[in-house]
Amino acid sequence: MVMNNVTVIKPKKTFSWSDFKEIWQYKELLYFLTWKDFKVRYKQTAIGILWALFQPFMIMVVFSVFFGKFAKMPSDGIPYPIFVYAGLLFWQFFSSALSETSNSLINNANIVTKVYFPRLILPISGVITKFVDFFIASVILAGMMIYYDYTPSLVGIAILPLLLLITFMAAVGGGLFLASINVKYRDIRYVLPFFIQMLLFVTPVIYPTSIAGAYSWILALNPMTGVIKAARAGLFGNAPINWELLGISFVAVFILLVIGIIFFKKTERYFADIV
């Protein structure tokens, strides 16, 4: 009698440490998808990668004119252009990574339905490309700091990886949850841009948290508040770094990341059927 061995591939219901090993095994695919996303974004554009500089710079100019000059928005003693640009750097990274992660399954439906690979690679690859944009756009911030004669402290430089980690966790955690829902309910891709626009105004990008007065605790519920405040304090030295607020932000985004991964893994089995 001939015995046929049958291998059944099915996703696990929950996240485990073996998922990290599996992602590492598919690291070449992660690299390919990241490089593909990066090339596609700037393919057949006149200025190419300079769009990563142009977009935050122009937003900074518009905000500086309307909120800094006309509305006289306070900036904690920091020149408003560099004040708002520091906040925009982290906000652009978060918002673009959140949007990319949320649509990662839909945008790659052709491979999700055909081959097996760790589905977590798709949202992760989308966020990695945003790191590249962040570092490119940081060139303008460095130039502005030289122009306005600001020298960051060693603590200010050392804290930047932690701030990027928190921003990464916030974008991936929220993005995994939204990506799982987006597979079944395509309303997410229409609602998300509106949600991100609204979230901008409850994040201290164009104003300092002090403007909220006694209600500043409401802004503290937003994890990006701690990130942006710490970035400005570390780079410009206008205030001490609020480690307590930053710690709360880290714990909040860690919980969000865990919830996002668990929800993603629980719904992963249905992706190929309904994507």
Domain membership of residue 199 (yes or no) is yes
Q: Which residues of 84-97 are buried (b: 16+ CB within 10 A; e: fewer)?
A: bbbbbbbbbbbbbb
Neighbours of 127 (CB within 10 A): 23
Q: Rg of the chain over CA atoms, in angstroms?
A: 21
Q: Are 256 and 170 in contact (CB under 8 A)?
A: yes
Query: What mean pLDDT is reported for the chain?
Result: 86
Instruction: Let me know if 47 is exposed, middle or buried by CB neighbors in 10 A (0-12, 13-18, 19+).
Output: exposed
- CA neighbor of 99 nearest in space, from 195, 33, 23: 195
Q: Give the SS3 label for residue 239.
A: coil
Structure tokens at 38: 């990066």
Whether 15 maps to a domain, the answer reads no
Q: Chain-centre distance of CA 253, in angstroms? A: 11
Instruction: Find, among 177, 1, 190, the residue nearest to 102 by Cα.
Output: 177
Looking up tokens 């509106």 gives 194
Q: Name the DSSP letter for residue 78.
A: S
Residue 253 lies in a domain: yes
Tell me the backbone φ, ψ of residue 222, rounded to 5 degrees.
Answer: -85, 115
- 3-state per-residue secondary structure call for 24-70: HHCHHHHHHHHHHHHHHHHCCCCCHHHHHHHHHHHHHHHHHHHHHHH
Closest by CA to 19, choosing from 117, 161, 112, is 117
pTM: predicted TM-score of the whole model, two decimal places: 0.87
- Who's near 115: CB < 8 A, 6+ residues apart? none
In the chain, how many domains are there?
Answer: 1
Q: Is residue 6 part of a domain?
A: no
* 4 in any annotated domain: no
Question: Rounded CA gap, 37 and 44, in Å?
Answer: 14
In a domain, 132, yes or no: yes
Domain that holds residue 208: 22-274
In a domain, 17, yes or no: no
Q: What's the Cα-to-Cα distance from 233 to each of 74, 91, 147, rounded to whole Å?
A: 15, 16, 18
* Residue 8 located in a structural domain: no
Q: Where are the alpha helices (DSSP H) in 185-242?
A: 188-200, 216-220, 223-236
* pLDDT tens, the chain, 275 aa long: 555 666 555 555 555 667 778 888 888 888 888 888 877 776 766 666 777 788 899 999 999 999 999 999 999 899 999 999 999 999 999 999 999 899 888 888 788 777 778 888 888 888 888 898 899 999 999 999 999 999 988 898 999 999 999 999 999 999 999 998 988 887 888 888 899 989 998 899 999 988 887 777 788 889 999 999 999 999 999 889 999 999 999 999 999 999 999 999 888 877 765 55
CB half-sphere exposure, 88, CA atoms < 13 A: 25
